Amino acid sequence: MMRPGLTLLSVLAGLVSFGASAQSPGASLVPSDGGASATQHFDPIGKPPSKFTIELRNGQKAELPFADKRDFDEAKKGFIAEPSYTKIMADAGHVAWDMGSYGWLLTGKDFESIHPSLQRQAVLNMGYGLYEVVPGRVYQVRGYDLANISFIKGDTGWIVFDPLTAQETARAALAFINDKLGKRPVVGVVYSHSHVDHFGGVRGVMDEADAASGKVMVIAPEGFLEAAISENVFAGNAMSRRVQWQYAVLLQRNPHGHVDQAIGKNVANGNTGLIAPNRLVKKEVEEITLDGVQMVFQNVPDTEAPVEMNTYFPQFKALWTSELVSATVHNIYTLRGAQVRNAHNWSKQVALTLYKFGQEAEVMFASHSWPRWGNARVQEVLRAQRDAYANLNNQVLHYANQGVTINEIHNVYEVPKSLRDQWAVRSYHGDVQNNTRAVINRFLGHYDGNPVNLIPLSPKESAPLYVEMMGGSAKIIARGEELLAQDKLLLATEILNKLVFAEPQNQQARRVLADVYEQLGYRAESTSVRNSFLQGAFELRNGQPGGIPPRATGPDVIRAMSTEQWLDFVGISLDPKKAEGMRFTVNLVTPDNGEQYTIEMTNATLTNIKGFQAKNPDLTVTVNRADLNQVMMGQSSFDDLIAAGKARFEGDRTGFDRLRTILVPFTPDFEILPGTAAKVPTTPPKPFEVRDLVDFD
């Protein structure tokens, strides 16, 4: 199980939370015939695809460019060795990674419950082991996590690019390459961007002391720490729940359930960490030479992540495109929830990469997918990706400027055939229909211009009226079954969804809607869409699945949070209805880093301002930030620090103590569909933890 503690409730309340569990020195590697995967909790529940789904799939197969098999050749090129194990155990004792649970994809069978294009991608993502990208200099270990971990061979050691999500999988990857190619020290680590699957495993390849001493150079784009922490903190609990739908990590792994994550098989479920970078890339293009390796970094912010960077290796004519360019169109809006991304800028940055480095690069590799070799191939993929994002942005705005709204655009936009015929820009991760709405949302917002949508009713309020006017549940179910039988699935969801919201306990309605969701999931090319529909079908039938979803961050992220970010989140955590009438002012001083804050509770709202001190505060709290970390991680309470002489409270702490009583613990198990409250969990419920960030993509 994941280690407990670090709760926001205990953070401010000063309660002692659970401490972190001891970590074993290495992950256990389980042979391929080892025990069951930690994610295999359920018997298969999927129903077969309907005749309409099979017919649609056959039509899709006929239209897809299956004659182009270059990806399969490129995915196999440079293969050196596959490990003897398929499972990697987490230090806490559960399965952190299980590549063997997807072995059924390699049977050669054509699965009618998987979109044919997605099945192709899922097979390509089965690459598992050590690969050579540039002879004698650049290597990748693939299939150990959602991302690839890349190793650049310097004069004396390894430069590691993107050390995965979990330290257990990163540690196993380092051990594997050292075993096959000879042991070498890690002399550098590069974080390409601020999503956790690109930095969370860093403690599996290096020690923090080596970064502090400068023995290991840790390179990241400017703004990395802030982006790594802040992107998902404030809405992190909502994202934690929603990521269970987008990634469906707890669904069974079989043709009726989880098959892939588009950019990799799945997310490793182990210990995550963060070691602060000691070398920031600040310029648009900046060169660093480390251990004899010349690296030219290109900052590409406001694209796939708030901060991100590519790397060109002139000595090897090798281009690393981070997650800016992989083997799929990405999310402009990710279904887990995040700020809408900038498709226009994304296209521009790919164009810069094409013209700055793509004119001479002979190989292109990335933090996901597989490399492409030959300059013509590199330019082909870069141009396709550039044009995919540009077309999305331009065509959507073209129609928006003619009055097409956010609620219509997904039914109007059409990907040009020349792009549909290129595997590199199929919608495996991002979904083209969802992405079109994201572009309008970025430029025009959620409002479609119709005043009826200015004050929409909540679904639970509007649904009973619809059910009444449609003649009651029996008529809706009968009509829903007719529409399902006629393969009019979206019409069926329109009426059945209303009934489920009006009558959450109507099991027949839930079953029929689940059947509709399931067929829609089978047809989806995007893993995000497939997972969301299949997760919805599961929860309609069974309630929320048990098990332990991956956690994306750990104590390192807490330490890296700014005090201001922590105070902001405390303001989000309080119950505003219980805060009415409360009024107090607290001055916070952290002498070791020279920071000061004024915290005010007024108008049922907790605010803070950095760099100021109120003249007549009710309470002044003095504590070193290094000691405050222990409170933020739940390892000590404020009262513990006071008793130890590490914190000082001066004045009236009544307001502070009252605040502790109105903090709300967030848990990522709320209902998305009515009647899907969590059943008895496999682990005790615990409040939302600030380490529960979910920025995988």
Q: Which domains does the chain have, with CATH numbers?
A: 8-282 (3.60.15.30), 575-660 (3.30.1050.10)
Nearest alpha-carbon partner for 541 in 507, 492, 517: 507
* 27 vs 604: which has the higher pLDDT: 604
At 324 the three-state DSSP class reads: coil
pLDDT of 516 reads 97
Q: What is the pLDDT of residues 277-331, one digit of tens each?
A: 999 999 999 999 999 999 999 999 999 999 999 999 999 999 999 999 999 999 9
Q: What is the pLDDT of residues 344-388, one digit of tens each?
A: 999 999 999 999 999 999 999 999 999 999 999 999 999 999 999
With 0-12 CB in 10 A as exposed, 13-18 as middle and 19+ as buried, what is 662? middle
* 246 vs 164: which has the higher pLDDT: 164
Nearest alpha-carbon partner for 237 in 669, 648, 639: 669
Angle, vertex CA 660, rays to CA 655 and CA 665, nearest 5:
150
pLDDT of 66 reads 97
Mean pLDDT of the chain: 88
The mean pLDDT value for 177-184 works out to 98
pLDDT of 636 reads 86
Residues 428/434/435/440 CA torsion (nearest 10 deg): 180
Cα dist. 118→523, 527, 528, 576 in Å?
A: 9, 8, 11, 45
pLDDT confidence band for 1 (50 / 70 / 90): very low
Least confident of 108-112, 145-149, 501-505, 679-683: 679-683
Q: What is the pLDDT of residues 631-650, one digit of tens each?
A: 887 788 899 999 999 999 99
Cα dist. 290→170, 198, 690 in Å?
A: 21, 20, 35
- How far, in Å, CA of 284 to CA of 273, rounded? 28
Whether residue 15 is predicted with pLDDT greater than 60 in this model: the reply is no
Q: What is the pLDDT of residues 395-421, one digit of tens each?
A: 999 999 999 999 999 999 999 999 999
Whether residue 28 is predicted with pLDDT greater than 80 in this model: the reply is no
- How far, in Å, CA of 519 to CA of 541, rounded? 15
The mean pLDDT value for 113-132 works out to 98
pLDDT of 551 reads 55
231, 196 Cβ separation under 8 angstroms = no
231, 294 Cβ separation under 8 angstroms = no
DSSP H or E run through 396: helix 375-400
Sign for the CA dihedral angle at 343, 348, 353, 355 comes to positive
Which amino acid, 78?
A: G
pLDDT of 549 reads 60
pLDDT confidence band for 97 (50 / 70 / 90): very high
Least confident of 228-237, 298-307, 616-625: 228-237
pLDDT of 233 reads 67
Please give the share of the chain, as a percent, with pLDDT higher than 90.
77
Nearest alpha-carbon partner for 295 in 399, 387, 188: 188
Please give the share of the chain, as a percent, with pLDDT higher than 70.
89
- How far, in Å, CA of 489 to CA of 475, rounded? 17
- How far, in Å, CA of 556 to CA of 570, rounded? 19
- How far, in Å, CA of 87 to CA of 27, rounded? 10
Q: What is the pTM of this model?
A: 0.84
Residue 46, CA atoms < 13 Å, CB-side half-sphere: 27
pLDDT of 547 reads 63
Non-local CB neighbours of 609 within 8 Å, separated by 6+ positions: 597, 598
Paired with 311 in beta bridges are 297, 320
pLDDT of 416 reads 95
- How far, in Å, CA of 143 to CA of 130, rounded? 9
Q: What is the pLDDT of residues 477-490, one digit of tens each?
A: 999 999 999 999 99
Whether residue 38 is predicted with pLDDT greater than 70 in this model: the reply is no
Which amino acid, 127?
A: G
The mean pLDDT value for 216-233 works out to 88
The mean pLDDT value for 681-691 works out to 36
Q: Compute CA 476 distance to the chain's CA centroid, rounded to the nearest angstrom.
A: 37
At 124 the three-state DSSP class reads: helix
pLDDT confidence band for 673 (50 / 70 / 90): confident
Q: String of b and e for 303-320 (b: at least 16 CB within 10 Å)?
A: bbbbbbbbbbbeebebbb
Sign for the CA dihedral angle at 73, 74, 80, 84 comes to negative
E strand intervals along 92-148: 95-98, 129-134, 138-142
Nearest alpha-carbon partner for 6 in 586, 549, 561, 655: 561
Residues 159/165/171/173 CA torsion (nearest 10 deg): -70
Residue 451 DSSP code = G
- How far, in Å, CA of 498 to CA of 477, rounded? 11
Residues 666/667/668/671 CA torsion (nearest 10 deg): -100
Nearest alpha-carbon partner for 630 in 560, 543, 696, 559: 559
Q: What is the pLDDT of residues 191-202, one digit of tens each?
A: 999 999 999 999
- How far, in Å, CA of 265 to CA of 197, rounded? 13
CA terminus-to-terminus distance, the chain: 24
Whether residue 694 is predicted with pLDDT greater than 90 in this model: the reply is no
207, 23 Cβ separation under 8 angstroms = no
Residue 663 DSSP code = B
Alpha helices in 470-551 (DSSP H): 473-485, 489-502, 507-523, 527-542
- How far, in Å, CA of 10 to CA of 486, rounded? 54
What is the gyration radius of the CA atoms in the chain, in angstroms? 26
* DSSP letters for 594-659: TEEEEEEEETTEEEEEET---SS-SEEEEE-HHHHHHHHTTSS-HHHHHHTTSEEEEE--HHHHHH
* 229 vs 481: which has the higher pLDDT: 481
* Six token digits for residue 312: 């060109």
Residue 416, CA atoms < 13 Å, CB-side half-sphere: 13
Residue 37, CA atoms < 13 Å, CB-side half-sphere: 24
Q: Compute CA 3 distance to the chain's CA centroid, rounded to the nearest angstrom.
A: 20
At 502 the three-state DSSP class reads: helix
